């Protein structure tokens, strides 16, 4: 069975896609927690950061570099932004397909709730 994010990648489910390459896709979160809330998702299904393996190193590195490029392109480097990966129940993960949240556009609280 496809994950929700695979359905977005295949255009089965619509999303506001702002970036895509052969390794990952970035689109707006449907329930934004900040003025800008993006999700960056690898096309390969890794169910969570806690189960990523060394074979996924290239993908994980690509996600980090790409989220930085997107943040810069969106103009968030001067005021800053936050990148979050939730894992498991206590981490608040609801979709079992690895994704980076990029939150920006307001001052974010620390520690998070």
Q: Which residues are catalytic?
A: 99
Closest CB to ligand 5GP among residues 15, 40: 15
Query: In the complex, which residues of this chain contact ligand 5GP (CB under 6 A)?
Result: 4, 13, 15, 27-31, 39, 86, 92-95
Q: How far is the CB of 41 from ligand 5GP (least distance, A)?
A: 9
Strand, coil or helix: 36 = strand
Closest CB to ligand 5GP among residues 51, 78: 51
Q: How far is the CB of 78 from ligand 5GP (least distance, A)?
A: 25
Strand, coil or helix: 23 = coil
Element (H, E) at 71: helix 57-73
Closest CA to 56 of 103, 24, 11: 24
How many Cα neighbours within 13 Å face the side chain of 52? 18
Q: How far is the CB of 113 from ligand 5GP (least distance, A)?
A: 13
């Amino acid at each position: 069975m496809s994950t929700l994010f695979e359905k977005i990648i295949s255009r089965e489910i619509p999303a506001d896609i702002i970036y895509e390459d052969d390794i990952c896709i970035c689109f707006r979160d449907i329930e934004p927690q900040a003025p800008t809330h993006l999700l960056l998702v690898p096309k390969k299904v890794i169910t969570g950061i806690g189960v990523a393996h060394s074979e996924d190193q290239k993908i994980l590195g690509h996600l980090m570099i790409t989220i930085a490029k997107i943040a810069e392109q969106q103009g968030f480097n001067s005021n800053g932004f936050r990148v979050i990966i939730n894992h498991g129940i206590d981490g608040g993960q609801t979709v079992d397909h690895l994704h980076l949240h990029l939150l920006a556009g307001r001052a974010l609280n620390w520690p998070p709730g």
